């Protein structure tokens, strides 16, 4: 009986530690923001499937990638505040490059990415 009681007390202590760890993790995530936008062609039509890659400004290391949805919309969440380079690629179009600043509020406006046809 003593062994069972000690085991239950240890499990209760572990549950308390896990709960505390989860709380700390949530607080850290609250400081991370995101961007969202729409990829369109020169006529304003949505471009689904465009590849969007995000790097810290001046770096060649890709921090996050996504692709545009059927309506051309894309979202990148959980970004730390900072300066980023974003490039957008789609077959048959020139690569688009944007310089972005993500602050404590994220990016406030919807990014409209207009792709130009490749020649």
pTM for the predicted model, two decimal places: 0.69
Three-class DSSP category at 24: helix
Q: How confident is the model at residue 110 (pLDDT cuts 50, 70, 90)?
A: confident
Of 93, 99, 107, nearest to 39 by C-alpha is 93
Alpha carbon distance 67, 45 (integer Å): 16
| pLDDT score for 9 | 44
Of 35, 41, 32, nearest to 85 by C-alpha is 35
| pLDDT score for 59 | 93
Segment 81-94 shows an average pLDDT of: 94
Residue 17, CA distances (Å) to 7, 22, 27 in order? 16, 9, 16
Of 85, 88, 60, nearest to 74 by C-alpha is 88
Q: What is the DSSP letter of 44?
A: S
Look at residue 7 and tell me whether its pLDDT is greater than 60: no
| pLDDT score for 105 | 72
pLDDT tens, residue by residue, 14-57: 443 333 333 333 333 344 578 889 999 999 999 999 999 999 99
CB under 8 Å to 61, separation ≥6 — which residues? 55
């Amino acid at each position: 009986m003593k062994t069972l009681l000690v085991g239950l007390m240890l499990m209760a202590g572990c549950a308390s530690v896990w709960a505390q760890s989860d709380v700390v993790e949530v607080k850290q995530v609250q400081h991370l923001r995101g961007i969202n936008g729409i990829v369109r062609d020169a006529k304003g039509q949505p471009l689904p499937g465009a590849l969007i890659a995000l790097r810290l400004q001046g770096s060649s290391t890709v921090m996050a990638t996504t692709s545009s949805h059927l309506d051309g919309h894309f979202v990148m969440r959980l970004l730390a505040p900072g300066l980023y380079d974003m490039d957008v690629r789609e077959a048959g179009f020139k690569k688009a490059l944007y310089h972005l600043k993500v602050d404590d509020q994220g990016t406030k406006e919807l990014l409209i990415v207009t792709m130009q046809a490749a020649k």
